[in-house]
Chains A and B, each alone.
Chain A
Amino acid sequence: MKLILRMNTALCAFLGVLLALPVAAAEPVKIGLVLPMSGPFAGYGKQIEEGVRLYLKQHGDAYAGRKVVLIVKDDTGVAPEVSKRDAQELVVQDKVDILAGFGLTPSAFAVAPIATEAKKPMVVMNAATSSVTTKSDYILRTSMTLPQVTAPIASWAAKNGIHKVVTVVADYGPGHDAEEQFKKTFVAAGGQIVAEIRTPVKNPDFAPYLQKVKDTKPDAVFLFLPAGEQPVAFMKGFAERDLAKSGIKLIATGDLTAETALDAIGAPALGVITSFHYAEAHNSPENKTFVDAWYKAYGPDRPDFMAVAGYDGMHLIAETLKKTGGSTDGDRFVEAAKGMKWVSPRGPISIDPATRDIVQTIYIRRVEKVGEKLQNVEFDQVPDFKDPGKP
């Protein structure tokens, strides 16, 4: 009797330990996504979140034995103090292991000190100012930087018969950065900037600027405007004044002709040449899988570069987890992520070990009608391009 009792106890204890083990080892990896889900940039947050979730849907949600749990907090995109508050609560209250998202640069800037203080990896999935990755040693980026997507169009233009350019940019930080990078690359390649026009950030009417462009008669106009109604208004005005017919080309960075904006612009977008890292029409098996899965899950909304950044960000987290064996210790995680290389729906990409920023192929594309839709069709590329904006 006593023996059976003792054996039972031993068995129970043994089973108890067995049961406890996987529970302790399988603690989920919590990822805190700080995204603009409401307000003027709600579209960004939607694309990024959907990209992240699509990856989990396609590849499962457990890596290195740990389940991935997403916690999404809305930072409205226009109040960095809310981004900071969200990140602080995610770290202190929800005890996340990784911070991710960041639709706009100020949000990333405001949160960087928290990543450093709490030693949490911070995966930036959109904010595009060069200096973002310098604000904390724990920042990794899977989107792009503005200089990275601006320089190629400048060098392409210089090599393809465009000698005189008028730059038209919005008068704010990203606009200044784009203008500076374009000028640097274009002039170095032998081109000439005949006029630099800066438009007010809130600008409904481009008539005066289009008139200036017409007066200066350049070979091309380099355009950089905030997403939304302004590119639409400019391009419509450009077409209306027959500027394209008089031989002036319109060149820009690809966010101007992002898939989510193309349909609103319509026919005036045809022929616009841009440089960017992702196009829905990119011809690769990885992209085909991605796009098909996207439309099945979220159609008829089109996927754009932000969805891919979210998708790739999740990939980076997943693969790094596998590499560290499930550890989310900040320093280990970031070390393991450095140098990671893979083929994304956009093409081959990698994380630069020196800057923790993304290295990718930038394509030169033209807007054409493919079937029923307008697409950015790639016809040239600059492979393995690093961010030229870093000091």
Chain B
Amino acid sequence: MRQPCEMPKDVGEREPLRRAARWRAAEWGFWSLPVIAYFVFPDNLVLLSQIAITGLFCLSLDLILGYAGIVSLGHVAFFGVGAYAAGLLASHGHGEPFTGLAVAAVSAAALGYITSFLVLRGADLTRLMVTLGVAMMLYELANKLTDITGGVDGLSGIDVHPVLGYFAFDLYGKTAYWYCLAVLFVLFVLARRLVHSPFGLSLRGIRLNVGRMPALGTPVNRRLSAIYTIGALYAGVAGALLAQTTQFVAVDSLGFSRSAELLLMLVLGGSGTLYGALVGTSVFMVARYLLSNLNAQYWQFWLGLLLVLIVLFARDGIMGGLRRLMRLLRRNE
């Protein structure tokens, strides 16, 4: 990025950005929770790993939706591509986990880059339908190519080698848990860096007022393409993690319901905050886990009701609610 002129470092056009980018105490607190959870819930590590994976997936959606304003119902395409890429790699003998992640990331990013041009055209509904159309075509493709993907029966026989050559994936899911958590944390830190950079600010500008941004010299289309590709990459890594930890890839990793649920989780948590994605995912998945053990068939009803209530009364989700609470508390001090 070219600066119009150099400014001395202590006088900050970057100062507000740097201030916002500093880690707050609450964030350290948040990240200590998964560590504590490992000791408090040793029997539920598989659930917690899956929450971490879905959290990463939701994070990827937040990047494109919450920060850049791209409404997509087909984000699951990148998740699925990443899952199949890692799964196929491992089932053909290359089971090193990090290689799998890398291949998945590259494949998903490539698809993201190519389809980003479709997403640039048209208004909300068009974008929605185009992203959905692409995802559905990929679903049909995965369904048809039974010899490669296993089709509806799924891809099994995925043999993932121990992480770093030492930590094997065990029945209790301990290795899987730390593996997913580590990947999530690293990618989260990178994403956080990204949104607190001038690039991230420009995305917010694009979402709020796309008409004005070119006047500031922002290459809008290039930015949107870039963030869409990054979002796709993150989603692909999440898919790969699922494939590696469950040693199975189902064709529903490309299904529509996964996309719809993801949107729900993001809205529940509050979009555009990064943490909202993680909070929303955790709350949603834990609630579904508890409710489905109570009453398998009708939790859908409560979920729908929750969604309606959120949209009507608590639009900015849990993070928004927390923010309002903090403001209230601060005012009373």
The answer to whether A79 touches B250, judged by C-beta atoms less than 8 angstroms apart, is: yes
Q: Which residue of the partner chain, among A38, A112, A172, contacts B146 with CB atoms under 8 Å?
A: A172
Q: B296 near A38 (CB under 8 angstroms)?
A: yes
Interface core residue of B143, B144, B156 (most chain A CB under 10 Å): B156
Per-residue interface assignment for chain B, residues 292 to 322, with 1 indicating a CB less than 8 Å from any chain A CB and 0 otherwise = 1100110110000000000000000000000
Do B297 and A73 touch across chains, with their CB atoms under 8 A apart?
A: no
Listed stretches A86-94, A235-243, A279-287; interface member = A86-94
Q: Mark B143-186, 1 if CB is under 8 A from A, else 0.
A: 11010001111101000000000000001110000000000000
Contact B47 A85 (CB under 8 A): yes
- The minimal Cβ–Cβ distance linking B132 to chain A, given in whole angstroms, is 13
Question: Is B115 an interface residue when CB atoms closer than 8 A count as contact?
Answer: no
CB of A164 closer than 8 Å to a CB of B:
no
Residues of A within 8 A of B144 (CB): 171-172
Q: Which chain B residues in 36-77 approach chain A with CB under 8 Å?
A: 43-44, 46-47, 50
User: Across the A-B interface, how many residue pairs have beta carbons closer than 8 Å?
Assistant: 95
| Contact, CB under 8 Å: B297 / A42 | yes
Q: Please measure, in the bound complex, the distance between the C-alpha atom of A74 and the C-alpha atom of B44, giving whole angstroms.
A: 16
Q: Contact at B250–A135, with CB atoms within 8 Å?
A: no
- A248 CB–B CB distance under 8 Å: no
Interface bits A102-113 vs B (CB < 8 Å: 1, else 0): 000110011011
Q: Which residues of B contact A112 (CB under 8 A)?
A: 156
Which chain A residue lies CB-closest to B158?
A113
B188 within 8 A of A: no
Instruction: Decide yes or no: A88 and B173 within 8 Å by CB, A79-B250, A200-B140 being known contacts.
Output: yes
Task: Contacts A78-B255, A171-B143, A173-B151 given; indicate if A38 touches B246 (C-beta within 8 A).
Answer: no
Interface residues on B, range: 20 to 34
| B247 touching A113, Cβ below 8 Å | yes
Judging by beta carbons under 8 Å apart, are B250 and A106 in contact?
A: yes
Q: A residues within 8 A CB of B96?
A: none
Secondary structure at the A interface, as helix, strand, loop or mixed, is helix
Interface size class of A (residues with CB under 8 A): 35 or more
CB < 8 Å neighbour of B46 from A89, A113, A129: A89
Least CB separation from B299: chain A residue: A38
B296 adjacent to A74 (CB under 8 Å): yes
Indicate if the CB atoms of B292 and A38 lie closer than 8 Å: yes
B248 interface residue per 8 A CB criterion:
yes
Task: Please tell me if the beta carbons of A105 and B153 are within 8 angstroms of each other in the complex.
Answer: yes
Bound Cα distance from A192 to B184, whole angstroms: 56
Bound CA span A373–B43, Å: 49
Q: In the complex, are the beta carbons of B154 and A38 less than 8 A apart?
A: no
Task: Flag if B154 contacts A106 (CB, 8 Å).
Answer: yes
Tell me whether A73 and B293 are in contact (CB under 8 A): yes
Establish whether residues B297 and A78, one from each chain, have CB atoms under 8 Å apart when the complex forms.
no
Chain A residues with CB under 8 A of B173:
88
Is A205 close to B, CB under 8 A?
no
Q: How far is the CA of A45 from the CA of B292 in the complex (A)?
A: 14
Do residues A172 and B152 form an inter-chain contact, with CB atoms below 8 A? yes
Can you name 4 extra interface pairs (CB under 8 A) apart from A89-B43, A172-B152?
Answer: A80-B246, A84-B248, A109-B153, A112-B156
A residues apposed to B, CB below 8 Å: 37-38, 42, 45, 72-74, 78-81, 84-85, 88-89, 91-93, 105-106, 109-110, 112-114, 117-118, 129, 135, 171-174, 176, 200-201
Interface positions of B (Cβ within 8 A of A): 43-44, 46-47, 50, 140, 143-144, 146, 150-154, 156, 171-173, 242, 246-248, 250, 252, 255, 257, 292-293, 296-297, 299-300
Nearest 10 A-B pairs (CB), nearest first? Answer: A37-B296, A74-B296, A106-B154, A93-B43, A173-B151, A173-B153, A110-B248, A172-B152, A81-B246, A80-B250
